[in-house]
Structure 1
Amino acid sequence: MPHAQSTKRQDRHEPHRLETDRFAPATRKRLSAPALRTFLAIADLWGLNEEQRLLVLGYPSRSTYHNWAKQAREHGAFTLDVDTLIRISAVLGIHQALGILFPDERLGVAWLRTPHEALVFGGHPPLDVLTSGTQDGLMTVRRFLDAARGGIYMHPNILDETFTPYEDGDIVFR
């Protein structure tokens, strides 16, 4: 029996070990260049200016940002901090959600730039919240889009506007 207890105790602590491995310097170094390259491509697609890019990344100095960008483009090695990688991860999630919710990238970008009446946006464009400089702003937009993907109400998009409701005869039981 003592062996079963020690196994149970190890299992209980296992997630904590995995959690720390995720933030280990070697892991962050491996992810940093590809993550930043992807961020730069999305920032280009969204039309973010340099100030907005800095805000999204947590406001590193301009020289640090340009050094990261140069290293990333040249496939160099550098290590981003955990906060910056979490921010980039949020951007990737937002980009993915926009790709699922909108049939065209331009429509997703337009949604980011259009004032929105949802309480979390308060009549401002989601891009304003996203580029507020806080990790919370990024996560707010990501959570909103994840909820929309999950079926929680979001203002209808072009696909919804052309949707024809199902009739009883359209439903087939077998």
Structure 2
Amino acid sequence: MPHARRTERQDRHQPERLETDRFAPATRKRLSAPALRTFLAIADLWGLSEEQRLLVLGYPSRSTYHNWAKQAREHGAFTLDVDTLIRISAVLGIHQALGILFPDERLGVAWLRRPHEALVFGGQPPLDVLTSGTQDGLMTIRRFLDAARGGIYMHPNILDETFTPYEDGDVVFR
């Protein structure tokens, strides 16, 4: 029986396959040490306690956490699970968004630590949601900051407070 060729029409109707290479053990092993080193640097910047770090990482045992940290600092080889890498990825995205939204790292950290009136935070500091121990808490902060970067309302910051509105004469048509 001749080998049947798939048509473009058939391909369009097939569900996309999950790209599994990014979850492969070799890929996770390659990413684990640099990801954890970066996480540790951000956790230091944000002033996270050991307990908060454990919660952000999905609550591994303290001995596992300390082993990972030692291996990461020594550029050793270890493999984090997918959940932990996703959590670290969310932290990296949060850090990046804070760097874009605030002109100074201190202001971004202050934003994390102050109570926030947005409904998603319920009057809590975003850091409380971030360190709730759930991946959803991390992703909530990440999505909120990504929305703020996209122009969806967030409380004004120093740049907004010193902004001078444009006037008609400032607009140039060519």
- What's the TM-score once normalised by structure 1's chain length? 0.93
- Post-superposition offset of 1:14: 9.9
- 1:56–1:72: structure 2 CA closer, same or farther, 3 Å change rule? same
CA distance in 2, matches of 1:112, 1:37: 21
- Post-superposition offset of 1:8: 3.8
Give the CA RMSD over aligned residues: 2.5
Q: Does 1:86 align with 2:86?
A: yes
- 1:24–1:157: structure 2 CA closer, same or farther, 3 Å change rule? same
- 1:103–1:2: structure 2 CA closer, same or farther, 3 Å change rule? farther
CA distance in 1, matches of 2:67, 2:108: 30
CA distance in 1, matches of 2:91, 2:134: 13
- Post-superposition offset of 1:5: 4.7
Q: Which is worse superposed, 57-66 or 15-24? A: 15-24
What percent identity do the matched residue pairs reach? 94
Q: Which is worse superposed, 87-96 or 162-171? A: 162-171
- 1:70–1:9: structure 2 CA closer, same or farther, 3 Å change rule? farther
CA distance in 1, matches of 2:51, 2:148: 28
CA deviation vs aligned residue, 1:9-62 (integer Å, no higher than 9, x gap): 896699955611110101000000000000000000000000000000000000
- 1:70–1:170: structure 2 CA closer, same or farther, 3 Å change rule? same
CA deviation vs aligned residue, 1:76-97 (integer Å, no higher than 9, x gap): 0000000000000000000000
Unaligned runs of 5+ in 2: none
- What's the TM-score once normalised by structure 2's chain length? 0.93
- Post-superposition offset of 1:4: 9.2
- Post-superposition offset of 1:168: 1.0
CA deviation vs aligned residue, 1:101-158 (integer Å, no higher than 9, x gap): 0000000000000100000001110000000000000000000000000000100000
Could you say which structure has the higher helix fraction? Answer: 1
Q: What is the aligned partner in structure 2 of residue 33 from structure 1?
A: 33
